[in-house]
Amino acid sequence: MADLPIIERPLADLGATTAESVASRFADIRVRFDQQSALHATDPESWRAFVLTWTGRKSGVLSLIADNWLKPAPPELKRVVGQELNRLKTHVESALDQRRTEIEAAAEKAALAREQVDLSLPGVERPVGTRHLIRQTYEELQRIFLAIGFSVVEGPEIETPYYNFEALNIPEHHPARDNMDTFYIEGARGGHLLRTHTSPMQIRTMEKQQPPVRIIVPGKVYRRDNPDATHGYMFHQVEGLAVDTDITFADFKGTVEYFVREFLGPQARTRLRPSYFPFTEPSAEVDATCHVCGGSGCRICKFSGWIELFGAGMVNPAVYGFVNYDAEKLSGFAFGMGVDRLAMMKYGISELPLLFQNDVRFLRQFP
């Protein structure tokens, strides 16, 4: 690339037999170098090639001059050629150094420019997503109960009939046991099942812990329901249990009212409607004034003014027998909430499947 044929031949062939003529040969080389460096200085790629051309160990110009001019130079010229070559080397290397720093500086500047963030430019919106509504609702329920001394325990989704039914006072032949509602794993009724509520974990906790007990148990539960607008075969529950030596119905009612005010706002009023659950006695459905119409009646509350929130009741003493708790000395209350249902109610969602279809157009509405 240097197209410097003269360096292929010894100085003698070029008639450079005096110090002056040697110096002028070298001056030609230097001029050529300066010309070429100016030519190749623009883009890093050709510059690298240019550097190699001049400083290449094997066939670089400087090496060729050393091989063809210095080595064969007659003794009387050796020192002159040597000096000239060193001066040329110094010139070439300092020029290359200076150029390299300029190039690196330019590359650095270009990189900086490339990286330069023009803060005035609008940022690139990276959709970060949000916590799922079920998660948001669950965390709100957790906040409400942790604030009054409840702790959170979680348990296995695969349970035994004993913990999912028997220990909860749901005797053999109780309709809830019907495999209509329950997913049995080994097919045989005696086999394991997918829990239909998180209550088994309350039993497991009482087996391991002496009273007082104040826990909430969140988690997925499974029921063999035909999916429709408000039912799915898997949904999320939060159940709660408080057992101690002096818990009264008033404590139960007070806790329920505290929850409703925290969850729906201080204006929400509570109503307890008698109900039945095998594991609570007395049992109640807890209603709250409709959060849409404030109780005056609207489409959401089917013009009743009331919205059914969750089920609850005083723990049925029969349950204590399964966990060696002394029913004479202890009393407690429990509740069970469908988190999906509460989320739909709170965020005005009419279709349960919307919560699980991962349609960002839907999910994006709830920051």
* Binding footprint of ligand 2U9 on the chain (CB under 6 A): 168, 197, 199, 202-203, 237, 239, 241, 277, 279-280, 310-313, 315, 319, 334-338
Provide the token pair at 358. 């991962």
Contact (Cβ atoms closer than 8 angstroms) between residue 194 and residue 158: yes
CB closer to ligand 2U9, 3 vs 246: 246
Q: How many CB atoms lie within 10 A of CB 118?
A: 6
Question: At what angle are helices 75-115 and 44-55 packed, to 10 degrees?
Answer: 160
CB closer to ligand 2U9, 69 vs 277: 277
* Minimum distance from residue 288 beta carbon to ligand 2U9 (Å): 14
Calculate Rg over the CA atoms of the chain. 43
Contact (Cβ atoms closer than 8 angstroms) between residue 14 and residue 25: yes
* Minimum distance from residue 350 beta carbon to ligand 2U9 (Å): 18
* Minimum distance from residue 235 beta carbon to ligand 2U9 (Å): 7
CB closer to ligand 2U9, 49 vs 158: 158
Apex 161 CA angle, 169 and 282, nearest 5: 20
DSSP string, 161-177: HHHHTGGGT--TT-GGG
* Minimum distance from residue 360 beta carbon to ligand 2U9 (Å): 28
CB closer to ligand 2U9, 26 vs 311: 311
Task: Give the N- to C-terminal CA distance of the chain in Å, as an integer.
Answer: 64
* Minimum distance from residue 130 beta carbon to ligand 2U9 (Å): 24
* Minimum distance from residue 218 beta carbon to ligand 2U9 (Å): 11
* Minimum distance from residue 122 beta carbon to ligand 2U9 (Å): 46
CB closer to ligand 2U9, 84 vs 239: 239
CB closer to ligand 2U9, 54 vs 335: 335
Please state, in angstroms and as integers, the Cα–Cα distance from residue 201 to each residue in 109, 193, 315, following that order: 63, 14, 15
Cα dihedral 151, 152, 153, 155 in deg (nearest 10): 160
Measured CA to CA, the distance from residue 49 to residue 66 in angstroms comes to 20
Name the residue with the smallest CB distance to ligand 2U9.
Answer: 311
CB closer to ligand 2U9, 144 vs 312: 312
